[in-house]
Amino acid sequence: MQRRHLLTLALLAAATPTAAGCGGFDPLAAGDSSSGNTNGSAGSGSDVISVGSANFPESELLAEMYAQVLDAAGVKVERHFGIGSREVYMRALHDGSIDLIPEYNGALLAYLADNDTVDASTAEAVHAGLQEKLPATLTLLDEATAEDKDSLVVTAATAQRYDLATIADLAPVAGDFVLGAGAEYAERRQGLLGLAEVYDVTFEQFRPLDAGGPLTVAALEDDTVQVASLLSTDPVIVQRGFVTLQDPQGLFGVQNVVPLISTAKNTATVTQALNAFSATLTTDALSAALGRVSLEREDSATVARDYLTDHGLI
């Protein structure tokens, strides 16, 4: 991919609220010091794996883990983190700007189905759907048992005042509520479209924020929004005493962490290294590692290195 086009992707990401919190990251920058990238710039050779991430801490942490695992296996890697939402980084995968990214199998299936109704209620259904929808140019490696779902979260005070335990409980009161989430949430079935269709939940207002980042958390705490979309492994949920609303209809489905890689860049070495990593990753382990990054402000590269060392992967 040409550098000019990758810059266009970076500008697209920066122009949307979902890019908030990226700190002005330029995917073209060779050697992003925040992620330890010292391996050159995009398009530096067919033997290089360009590892990308979405623009939220968990994705960047997982991408850093992928990068270090591959590096330890003798694979040359580049890091292009903080690209943006799925709509942006999937274009980067298709045109070769990046080769590998951490994904969530249920959300990926919903994206590939272009908001058509899909069965994401079981791992088997998701696997079958992805086999049908995934283009031959992309390959999914082994999924981890670690699962992270989009979730709707309210403060403990809001949950108590309105007797909220499930998403269905929002139906009679959502007309007075503001929902905060990443901008793309407005157009996703696993977002406003599905909430209306599956639960008959329609909010008074949707406020595009930073896809579960600090702006979203702050807006929930100061009652600027009454409901927020956060990732279910986000350690801030426990830290702040937020209440996660249950999803009895399975709108957000199965969401296992899985490496998504360009088929042309997948080799036996790459597959073996990433599958060995995925076999170790549980939801609790991911949440604990993420807590060190999000709450204790530790560097993702350090947290990734500690995890991989502890599990004998590097």
Could you say which of 217, 244, 271 is where a domain stops?
244
Cβ-proximal residues to 160 (8 Å cutoff; 6+ apart), any chain = none
If asked whether residues 121 and 169 sit together in one domain, one would say no
Domain assignment of residue 69, given as a range: 3-147+255-310
Contact 58/233 with Cβ under 8 angstroms? yes
DSSP H or E stretch at residue 207: strand 205-209
Whether this model's pTM surpasses 0.85: no
pLDDT of residue 284: 83
Per-residue pLDDT of the chain (314 residues; tens, 9 = 90+): 333 333 333 333 333 333 333 333 333 232 333 333 433 334 445 789 999 999 989 999 999 999 999 999 999 999 999 999 999 999 999 999 999 999 999 989 989 998 677 787 788 899 999 999 999 999 999 999 999 988 999 999 999 999 999 999 999 999 999 999 999 999 988 899 999 999 999 999 999 999 888 999 999 999 999 999 998 888 889 889 999 999 999 888 889 999 999 999 999 999 999 999 999 999 889 988 999 998 899 999 999 999 999 999 99
Strands 100-104 and 257-262: antiparallel
If asked whether residues 114 and 222 sit together in one domain, one would say no
pLDDT of residue 150: 87
In the beta sheet, which residues pair with residue 76?
48
If asked whether residues 14 and 141 sit together in one domain, one would say yes
If asked whether residues 180 and 267 sit together in one domain, one would say no
Q: Is 139 contained in some domain?
A: yes
CATH of the domain at 76: 3.40.190.10
CATH of the domain at 237: 3.40.190.120
Q: How far is CA 165 from CA 79, 142, 160, 237, 249, in A?
A: 40, 33, 9, 15, 13
Structural domains counted in the chain: 2
pLDDT of residue 16: 34
Beta strands per DSSP E along 76-193: 76-80, 100-104, 138-140, 150-154, 178-182
If asked whether residues 195 and 215 sit together in one domain, one would say yes
Instruction: Output the six-digit token pair for 165.
Output: 């335990």
Could you say which of 209, 244, 279 is where a domain stops?
244
Contact 203/179 with Cβ under 8 angstroms? yes
